[in-house]
């Protein structure tokens, strides 16, 4: 659009932005470092977009400048600063951020489309940022030897996810790529499965999703040719040499209908989706849903599961909640195909929750003004929402179900709700149900698979070749269990990119290299840890090659298997190289069915085979984000997060001196986990170095009990993790549970007081 009075508009913007920043600094809302960065970047970024004439020649961006001008005219200086003060931060899996800062703008985006005239900036998720990112990725791919050629593109239930995905695909098409496009909202695991599948063999995968974040967010999840996230080195080259240098001049667009027939393929089911525009290429449909399901079903250990369920007078009863997401068809269909007859989908129709409906506004989670709750299946509040909706949909039937399964909007996370025995309900806040921590779910899942193998063969076959991979915030119960059965353990930093990278290097016999790097860490402010490995246990032989499980505390799970035949394939006998909530849902349902046949349930299995095992015991883990939902808003949020970390670093110094306690518990040692991966975002200074993987305080010499304060690198939020340990006997098991939960609460409460981070 041609802008009248452009100079006057820019002068007003510069004046208003500078005045806002000065006032914010004087009021102590932002610190000097953040002030300088915002002053340096905000207006230049805004001016660059308003002056760029190439934007004017892209019809699909016809209202972009209009939205910015409206915000200037309305003197929305805070929003303008937050929209332009930086580029959207590029993390391990791509980009993620807010599409807009208020619900009215999100609704306008939903109603009018991705070219609506809401405020968009370099620091928001929008159609221009997606196209610029894609142009950078496309140019990176074409610069490789040989050039990259194929891209899988998917989307989940986020607002206008299909339109954003199509915009991304059109840029790749214009750069000469062949596109494989999902014809309906899909689980992220189907994208990561489709990329290396023999029917596709793509080089890149993109999912338009913000995972479990609230309705204001969206993102661009990026995967490489084997379905895992790109390695840090390759990702950094892609970002710094291509994405960060992309300008609107680099944006090319080729519509599906104008592309050659052999350049556009669709991934879906066995039939065309009503209402979807196949651009005249309907014959180019690949049934990826079925291929993904068949692959998952191959991991079941109960070969006659369907027959057993069909013959049972008391079959497993499952409730399922997709939390408005892409698992709404995929998970029930998978469960029913393997023989689970009773799968009750949860909606909450009467109260308008609509949990079984694709709705990126996530109405079950934003009914209270100002409370932007996340549709996270690992959040106890989400569990309460699901239970309430089930009781609304199926009055009087809650006691009959054996397990409630939940997946997040892109269905890569899985949460499990179980009934609590009456004699233990006082342990769990007098509730008759309990959201199991993922730590316990994955420990039990690993135990079950080892137990069934031992049951079948008399021992774990080739135990000396097997290992598990887990993030450093995931429970040590998994480590203890794995070592008991003779498996090795690799602990990584948070995120499946690290899990996949560490597993790959184990396949490549590089574990001795990263063990020495980790062991050589001095645990000081300035020393850097290995880029993706925390530590190892039982990996010194160099013979481990078969991954039995990759697990993270944030409800992510997969099995990566043995060394793949090439760099573009899944591991032999393995599943996708990122997390899969649909996969985890089926494997846990199998355990629940097996337990029911044994006359017990999941809590009974945990009590008997994990908690009461003297070689393992109870590892009680507690987790809370800060803030509880979303992140601290805007530029002030940077200051709030930084201030909490400065307090934590002060306590690190006190712990080094032996003078720090939390809730009356003496801290015996401490460590900073720091890889330096966010140093460009948070440049080190004399008084502050960003501890990207956290600061950990140990309460015991064995280092089994600890507190971890871990910041997000790409958002204004933190994570608080607690692990406590005890080895109860049958007589004091319940009492031990009560005591550990009470102690965990005391520690979390005191930690928030110490850090001045009250629950909000």
pLDDT tens by residue, 298-329: 999 999 999 999 999 999 999 999 999 999 99
CA distances, 148 to each of 91, 92, 144, 177, 244 (Å): 22, 20, 7, 8, 20
Q: Decide: 662 and 754 in contact? Cβ < 8 Å.
A: yes
The CA distance from 251 to 585, in Å, is: 40
The CA distance from 201 to 402, in Å, is: 40
Q: How many CA atoms lie within 13 A of 408 on its CB side?
A: 27
Q: How many CA atoms lie within 13 A of 3 on its CB side?
A: 23
Percentage of the residues of the chain whose pLDDT score is greater than 70: 98
Mean pLDDT value across residues 711-736: 95
The CA distance from 478 to 474, in Å, is: 8
Confidence of residue 517 (pLDDT cuts 50, 70, 90): low
Q: What pLDDT does residue 249 have?
A: 98
Q: What pLDDT does residue 1 have?
A: 56
Q: What pLDDT does residue 558 have?
A: 98
Percentage of the residues of the chain whose pLDDT score is greater than 90: 89
CA angle 566, 569, 570 (to 5 degrees): 125
The CA distance from 60 to 465, in Å, is: 54
- Centroid of chain to Cα 84: 25
Mean pLDDT value across residues 473-482: 98
Least trusted range by pLDDT, from 240-249, 533-542, 705-714: 533-542
Question: pLDDT tens digit string along 325-363?
Answer: 999 999 999 999 999 999 999 999 999 999 999 999 999
Q: What pLDDT does residue 592 have?
A: 98
CA distances, 312 to each of 87, 319, 335, 598, 652 (Å): 57, 18, 16, 13, 57
Domain boundaries, the chain: 1-86, 90-97+122-287, 298-435, 440-579, 619-755
Residue (of 262, 274, 160) closest to 218 by Cα position: 160
CB neighbour burial string for 449-474, b if at least 16 within 10 angstroms, e if fewer:
bbbebeeeeeebeebeebbbbbbbbb
Q: What pLDDT does residue 520 have?
A: 52
Confidence of residue 760 (pLDDT cuts 50, 70, 90): confident
The CA distance from 78 to 62, in Å, is: 24
CA distances, 114 to each of 83, 100, 131, 318 (Å): 17, 12, 12, 38
Q: Which CATH number among 3.40.50.10490, 3.40.120.10, 3.40.630.10, 3.40.50.720 corresponds to the domain 90-97+122-287?
A: 3.40.120.10
Residue (of 419, 435, 448) closest to 555 by Cα position: 435
Q: What pLDDT does residue 525 have?
A: 65
| Average pLDDT along the chain | 95
What is 298-435's CATH topology? Alpha-D-Glucose-1,6-Bisphosphate; Chain A, domain 3 (3.40.120)
Question: pLDDT tens digit string along 613-655?
Answer: 999 999 999 999 999 888 898 888 989 999 999 999 999 999 9
634-656 and 77-84 helices, crossing angle to 10°:
60
How many beta carbons lie within 10 A of that of residue 617, not counting itself? Answer: 19
Confidence of residue 683 (pLDDT cuts 50, 70, 90): confident
Instruction: Give CA torsion, residues 547, 694, 661, 751, to 10 deg.
Output: -100
The CA distance from 503 to 228, in Å, is: 11
Secondary structure letter of residue 703 according to DSSP: S
The answer to whether domain 619-755 has CATH 1.10.3470 is: no
Q: What pLDDT does residue 682 have?
A: 85
Mean pLDDT value across residues 220-225: 97
The CA distance from 708 to 696, in Å, is: 4
- Centroid of chain to Cα 135: 25
Q: Decide: 218 and 210 in contact? Cβ < 8 Å.
A: yes
Three-state DSSP class for 352?
A: coil
Q: Which residues pair with 466 in a beta bridge?
A: 546
Residues in the chain: 760
CATH number of 440-579: 3.40.120
Sheet of 556-558, strand order: 533-537, 488-492, 466-471, 546-552, 556-558
Secondary structure letter of residue 147 according to DSSP: P
733-755 and 634-656 helices, crossing angle to 10°:
110
Quick check: do 298-435 and 619-755 share a fold?
Answer: no
Secondary structure string (H, E, C) spanning 305-324: HHHHHHHCCCCCEEEEECCC
> Which class for 609: exposed (0-12), middle (13-18), buried (19 or more C-beta within 10 A)?
middle
Residue (of 507, 503, 504, 502) closest to 518 by Cα position: 502
Q: Is the pLDDT of residue 368 over 80?
A: no
Q: What pLDDT does residue 403 have?
A: 98
CA distances, 594 to each of 300, 308, 449, 513, 580 (Å): 12, 10, 12, 41, 22
Beta-carbon contacts of residue 489 (< 8 Å; ≥ 6 apart): 467, 468, 469, 470, 478, 479, 482, 483, 536, 537, 538, 539
Residue (of 425, 357, 368) closest to 628 by Cα position: 368
Q: Are strands 466-471 and 403-407 parallel, antiparallel or unpaired?
A: unpaired
Q: Decide: 740 and 618 in contact? Cβ < 8 Å.
A: yes
Least trusted range by pLDDT, from 106-110, 348-352, 538-542: 538-542
The CA distance from 446 to 548, in Å, is: 8
Confidence of residue 685 (pLDDT cuts 50, 70, 90): confident
Q: Decide: 537 and 570 in contact? Cβ < 8 Å.
A: no
E strand segments, 387-503: 403-407, 414-419, 433-435, 466-471, 488-492
CB neighbour burial string for 87-107, b if at least 16 within 10 angstroms, e if fewer:
bbbbbbbbbbbbbbbeeebbe
pTM of the model: 0.96
Q: Decide: 136 and 63 in contact? Cβ < 8 Å.
A: no
The CA distance from 179 to 206, in Å, is: 11
Q: Decide: 209 and 187 in contact? Cβ < 8 Å.
A: no
Q: Is the pLDDT of residue 524 over 80?
A: no
Least trusted range by pLDDT, from 69-83, 224-238, 477-491, 580-594: 224-238
Residue (of 459, 449, 457) closest to 583 by Cα position: 449
Q: Decide: 723 and 620 in contact? Cβ < 8 Å.
A: yes
Beta-carbon contacts of residue 402 (< 8 Å; ≥ 6 apart): 316, 317, 318, 418, 419, 592, 596, 601
Secondary structure string (H, E, C) spanning 24-58: HHHCCCCCHHHHHHHHHHHHHHHHHHHHCHHHHCC
Instruction: Decide which of 180 and 526 is more confident.
Output: 180
Secondary structure string (H, E, C) spanning 206-250: EEECCCCCCCCEEEEEEECCCCCCCCHHHHHHHHHHHHCCCCHHH
């Amino acid at each position: 659009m041609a802008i009248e009075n452009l100079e006057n508009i820019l002068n007003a913007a510069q004046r208003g932005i500078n005045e806002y920043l000065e006032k914010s600094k004087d009021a102590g809302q932002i610190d000097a470092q953040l002030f300088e960065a915002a002053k340096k970047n905000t207006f230049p970024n805004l001016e660059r977009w308003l002056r760029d004439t190439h934007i004017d020649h892209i019809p699909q961006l016809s209202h972009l400048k209009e939205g910015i001008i409206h915000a200037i005219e309305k003197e929305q200086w805070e929003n303008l600063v937050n929209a332009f003060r930086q580029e959207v931060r590029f993390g391990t899996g791509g980009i993620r951020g807010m599409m807009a800062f208020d619900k009215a703008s999100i609704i306008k985006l939903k109603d009018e489309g991705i070219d609506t005239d809401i405020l968009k900036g370099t620091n928001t998720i929008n159609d221009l940022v997606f196209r610029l990112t894609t142009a950078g990725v496309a140019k990176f791919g074409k610069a490789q030897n040989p050039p990259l050629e194929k891209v899988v593109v998917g989307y989940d239930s986020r607002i206008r996810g299909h339109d954003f995905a199509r915009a991304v695909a059109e840029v790749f098409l214009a750069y000469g790529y062949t596109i494989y496009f999902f014809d309906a909202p899909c689980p992220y695991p189907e994208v990561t499965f489709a990329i290396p599948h023999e029917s596709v063999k793509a080089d890149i995968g993109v999912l338009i999703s913000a995972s479990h974040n609230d309705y204001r967010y969206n993102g661009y999840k990026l995967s490489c040719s084997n379905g895992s996230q790109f390695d840090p080195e390759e990702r950094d080259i892609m970002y710094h040499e291509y994405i960060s240098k992309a300008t609107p001049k680099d944006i090319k667009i080729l519509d599906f209908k104008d592309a050659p027939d052999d350049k556009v393929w669709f991934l879906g089911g066995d039939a065309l989706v009503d209402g979807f525009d196949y651009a005249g290429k309907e014959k180019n449909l690949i049934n990826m849903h079925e291929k993904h399901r068949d692959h998952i079903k191959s991991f079941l250990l109960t070969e006659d599961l369907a027959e057993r369920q069909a013959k049972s007078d008391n079959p497993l009863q499952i409730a399922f909640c997709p939390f408005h997401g892409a698992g709404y068809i995929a998970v029930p269909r998978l469960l029913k195909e393997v023989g689970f007859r009773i799968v009750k989908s949860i909606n909450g129709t009467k109260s308008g929750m609509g949990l079984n409906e694709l709705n990126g506004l996530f109405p079950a989670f934003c009914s209270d003004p100002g409370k932007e709750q996340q549709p996270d299946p690992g959040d106890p509040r989400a569990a309460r929402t699901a239970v309430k909706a089930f009781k609304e949909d199926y009055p009087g039937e809650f006691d009959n179900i054996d397990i409630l399964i939940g997946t997040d909007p892109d269905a890569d996370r899985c949460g499990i709700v179980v009934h609590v025995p009456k004699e233990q309900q006082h342990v769990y806040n007098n509730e008759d149900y309990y959201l199991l921590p993922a730590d316990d779910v994955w420990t039990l899942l690993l135990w079950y698979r080892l137990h069934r193998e031992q049951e079948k063969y008399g021992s774990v076959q080739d135990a000396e070749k097997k290992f598990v991979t887990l993030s450093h915030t995931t429970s040590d119960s998994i480590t203890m269990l794995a070592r008991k059965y003779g498996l090795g353990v690799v602990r990584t930093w948070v995120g499946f990119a690290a899990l996949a990278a560490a597993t790959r290097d184990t396949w490549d016999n590089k574990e001795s290299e990263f063990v020495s790097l980790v062991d050589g860490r001095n645990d000081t402010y300035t020393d850097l840890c290995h880029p993706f490995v925390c530590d190892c246990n039982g990996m010194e032989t160099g013979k481990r090659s078969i991954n039995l499980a990759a697990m993270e505390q944030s409800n992510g799970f997969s099995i990566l298997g043995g060394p793949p035949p090439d760099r573009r394939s899944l591991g032999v006998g393995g599943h996708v190289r990122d997390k899969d909530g649909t996969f985890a849902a089926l494997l846990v349902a199998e355990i629940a069915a097996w337990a029911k046949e044994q006359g017990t349930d999941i809590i009974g299995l945990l009590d008997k085979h994990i908690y009461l095992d003297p070689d393992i015991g109870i590892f009680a883990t507690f987790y809370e984000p800060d803030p509880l939902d979303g992140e601290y808003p805007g530029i002030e949020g940077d200051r709030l997060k930084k201030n909490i970390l400065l307090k934590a670093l002060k306590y690190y110094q006190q712990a080094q001196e032996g003078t720090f306690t939390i809730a009356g518990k003496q801290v015996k040692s401490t460590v900073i986990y720091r890889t330096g991966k966010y140093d460009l975002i948070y440049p080190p200074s004399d008084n502050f170095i960003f501890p990207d993987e956290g600061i950990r305080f140990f309460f015991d010499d064995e280092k089994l009990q600890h507190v971890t304060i871990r910041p997000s690198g790409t958002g204004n939020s933190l994570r608080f993790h607690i692990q406590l340990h005890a080895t109860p006997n049958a007589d004091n098991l319940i009492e031990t549970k009560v005591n550990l939960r009470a102690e965990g609460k005391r520690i979390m409460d005191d930690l928030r007081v110490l850090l001045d981070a009250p629950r909000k």
